[in-house]
Structure 1
Amino acid sequence: MKNGKAVGPDDIPVEVWKCLGEAAVEFLTSLFNRVLESERMPEEWRRSVLVPIFKNKGDVQSCSNYRGIKLMSHTMKLWERVVEARLRKVVEICEQQYGFMPRKSTTDAIFALRILMEKYRDGQKELYCVFVDLEKAYDRVPREELWYCMRKSGVVEKYVRVVQDMYERSRTVVRCAVGQTEEFNVEVGLHQGSALSPFLFAIVMDQLSEEVRQESPWTMMFADDIVICSESREQVEENLERWKFALERRGMKVSRSKTEYMCVNEREGSGTVRLQGEEVKKVQEFKYLGSTVQSNGECGKEVKKRVQAGWNGWRKVSGVLCDQKISARIKGKVYRTVVRPAMLYGLRQCH
């Protein structure tokens, strides 16, 4: 874990364990072994603080435009990392999932989508890409569905019980600008801000999509960001209906208002994509995993955004970069950490 993270209700930052060195390793090893053996974690770990974070889009007064992040015990997060490492050894996630997988990243998914669209533009063929939006995906995962998906993925019963214990009697309070609410139980969904939740969600999506997903790049997932591609409008409509049925029968919900599509080399009279009789919003560009993808293949808008992001990063650290007392080595490290990644993100996929 990185330093400087907000602490949970126990007020113990991860820096404490790092400072203790070998003594911390011995203590945590003993503690985690006891938790694993008993399948019961300390009661203090069940508590969390929920902080609403604005998504920087939409109406600031609308609750739907906020993402809830749980501040949890850092010690519990270390325990989650141990459990995650064990689960990854036995669970095999499909190749269509790019989110939180080893040797995969957002840029790989962006690259695959751009290359697919480019090939169809060069071949003067139609290509439909539907960007499926799931409403409050993490918060909607039914707990029983999670246990079922874990067992179906080959997780041994002991580790299913260990994860069940993490969610048993979990309690939280909501902290905002005007104060803090009373503590209440959380009985549905995955923990936002948890170290283990991304992989648990990948397990759930892997099982829910097993019957409907196609090979990559025709189907690509990055956590709850789903892209469905097809050569014809009829086929993409059929695939979209199947995805909606597969997801919603197991507790998820597809947002009709935020699900959008674009078409490459669209012919006259092709018609619009529909979902259960209602038109899906058609767009000429879409912000996919932070990178703007345009149906005509141009990258001008994305390049302008990257230039602006680079300047924004420069302004944040200009005091360091322009300080003559700071060494060139430190300045170079700050530049490579803050400015360059923001400026070059996703651009290697542009042609």
Structure 2
Amino acid sequence: MDLFNESFNDSFLPLSCRRAVLTLLPKKGDLQEIKNWRPVSLLCTDYKLLSRALSSRLRKVMDQVVDRTQTYCVPGRSIVDNVSLIRDILEVSGSLGLDTGLVSLDQEKAFDRVEHRYLWKVLERFGLSPGFIAKIKASTTETLTEVLWNVLEVL
């Protein structure tokens, strides 16, 4: 814990906590096709513990800062509630003879598209402390990913 506290005072984590090793795990199918491999990032235990601690703290306030219509990954809420609401709206609309449609959008790699400066401002507006935001910044900036290649040849 001293390592994390000291690192956070400097707003910087050691390289071991910012480094991931990317490897590929085989899925079913022809392994000559890249789509049949799943990328997995291996992280050090220290970083996992830190990440879990930050996540646990954030989870305590999520229901206060995330709109009630957002149900995924918020403790005490279930995505099933929104699915049921959609089903009910379609059913009532149909019984009233209303033409109804549904558009579902899912942005691929949504987190990768988030502008971090904007994210920090949003966290500020939600009332998170500058110290907590600094901890999140320290755990997500200047990261390094190394690709483990030809693992089967090494083994």
Q: Indicate whether the TM-score tops 0.5.
A: yes
Post-superposition Cα deviations, 1:5-30, rounded to whole Å, max 9, x if no partner, equal xxxxxxxxxxxxxxxxxxxxxxx4x5
Deviation at 1:44, TM superposition (A): 0.7
1:81 equivalent in structure 2: 52
1:171 equivalent in structure 2: 144
- Aligned counterpart for 2:12 among listed residues 40, 45, 54: 40
Deviation at 1:42, TM superposition (A): 3.2
Gap runs ≥5 in structure 1: 1-27, 181-351
The structure, 1 or 2, with the larger RCO (C-alpha pairs under 8 Å, 6+ apart) is 2
The one-letter code of the counterpart of 1:138 is F
Gap runs ≥5 in structure 2: none
**Larger helix percent:** 2
The one-letter code of the counterpart of 2:82 is A
Post-superposition Cα deviations, 1:297-332, rounded to whole Å, max 9, x if no partner, equal xxxxxxxxxxxxxxxxxxxxxxxxxxxxxxxxxxxx
Q: Equivalent residue of 1:96, what SS?
A: coil
Please report the TM-score for the alignment, with normalisation by the length of structure 1.
0.36
Match runs of 1:257-272 below 5 Å? none
The one-letter code of the counterpart of 2:47 is M
- Aligned counterpart for 2:93 among listed residues 93, 110, 120: 120
Q: Equivalent residue of 1:173, what SS?
A: strand
Q: Equivalent residue of 2:84, what SS?
A: helix
For residues 86 and 134 of structure 2, what CA distance do their matches in structure 1 show? Answer: 39
CA contact (8 A) 2:8 2:134 kept: no
For residues 95 and 101 of structure 1, what CA distance do their matches in structure 2 show? Answer: 9
Match runs of 1:1-351 below 5 Å? 28=1, 30-52=2-24, 61=33, 68-90=39-61, 92-175=65-148, 178-179=150-151
Identity of aligned residues (%): 27
Q: Work out which of the two has the higher radius of gyration on C-alpha atoms and give 1 or 2.
A: 1
The one-letter code of the counterpart of 2:48 is K
For residues 81 and 133 of structure 1, what CA distance do their matches in structure 2 show? Answer: 26
Closer, same or farther: CA 154–41 of 1 in aligned 2, 3 Å = same
For residues 98 and 115 of structure 1, what CA distance do their matches in structure 2 show? Answer: 17
Please report the TM-score for the alignment, with normalisation by the length of structure 2.
0.74
Cα RMSD (Å): 3.1
The one-letter code of the counterpart of 2:96 is G
Q: Equivalent residue of 1:135, what SS?
A: coil
